[in-house]
Chain A
Amino acid sequence: MARTTIRNTDKVKHFIQYFGLMVLLLLVWQALSMLGVIQPIILPPPSQIAIVFWDLLKNGTLLKHISISVLRVLEGFGVAALLGLGLGMAIGLSQTLARMTDLIIQVIKPIPPIAWIPLAILWFGIGEQSKVFIIFLGAFFPVIVNTIDGIRQTDHKLVEVARILEVSKSRFILQVVIPGAFPAIMTGLRVGLMVAWMCVVAAELIAASGGVGYLIMDARQLSQSDVVLVGMITIGIIGKVMDSIISWIEKRVITWKTAFVGV
């Protein structure tokens, strides 16, 4: 009898821990706004943001912008995943290729996607392609770097086993290297998708006429901080949803691992 009671209070405790801090911050924020300590143009109160959010949702504007942005992200991420996985595997498996490409990758990697905007406009104009290009750049490096790492980290103990069993090169790559690299590859894809989504604001600086990034920049021109915040929060929520989807995929694909969940 006592044991079930403890479990229930545990659940309640966890619930509070999960949402507590956020709720507390929101209440303090609302209170400070209503007391006039925080000016609405600097930081609109949660109540105002909620109203704007609901309005934009109701008249379909928000969903329209979300779908435009999500489409762009998926396009950019798709290309990044294909190229990143392909090149990453080739580089991971070939020492020569690795030596040839290492310098280029290391030098280009730190350049933030935003810095590419001027070139993107010159090369691709102000249409969809330049935006997808920026998003692609954001997602590409996490994917390729993690793929290379995953392949390089192939357990050499398994390599010895494969040598003894005279496993052919193709079977070795398909059955030992790539499955072993899956966790790292999934991490790369996950991080890549996140960065792709974060780049959507940068990408939509290029003459966009739709999308969540556009929504934010547009509201900025008109000094509408509440819409800016709605845009930001939307980006956060969608990002979280995307992350959850990939995590779910990861769990189904990598069924042989048991993850460390904490002390």
Chain B
Amino acid sequence: MTAIDWDLALESLGPLVGGAIRGTIPLALASFAVGMVLAVAVALMRLYGNRVVKTGARLYVSVVRGTPLLVQLFVVFYGLPSLGLTINPWPSAIIAFSLNVGGYAAEVVRAAILSVPKGQWEAAYMIGMSRRVSLTRVILPQASRVALPPLSNTFISLVKDTSLASLILVTELFREAQQVAAFSQEFMALYVEAAIVYWVVCLALSSGQSALERRLDQYVAH
């Protein structure tokens, strides 16, 4: 066992952080944004859709949660081309990750909506709101505070899961680490370094979550 090559570790920090900034973080943000739109839509379908819509939404959630993310990623990137549909690495990753997040977050959003007391719907209806306006102005703001901690977990998981995108040729943090490691043969140093960069990103996200929780605290009944 050789000592850690500190020069290499310092030199490779640049590509790794670059991979986080240009790959991991935008990939996670884009997938989460699309995934949340999906999640709210699917949650509303499950709550208020007719029987067909409800069944479709339930099936989607079941498939997403019942299959490995890596398999979903491979189906989109390596599978679809055999059906004549070739998608580049980046869009493939965003499609797979946002479908995945959508499935998990839909359940969180649904539970959060159900957690808002029925009296809030009644008060909203009483002042003349339609169901849609009640939802957007009264129910969802209160549900958002309830959903925030579990959704933060989903987001942090997603940040780490984006490392799987290295397997479909997306240049992000982990792929940078792999490339430097392959070149220098310093596997331990590079992979530990990659782990530390992920950790720092997630620490930053956690503190952001706490701040957001405090701000949204006014949105819940005390």
The answer to whether A and B interact is: no
Residues of A within 8 A of B (CB): none
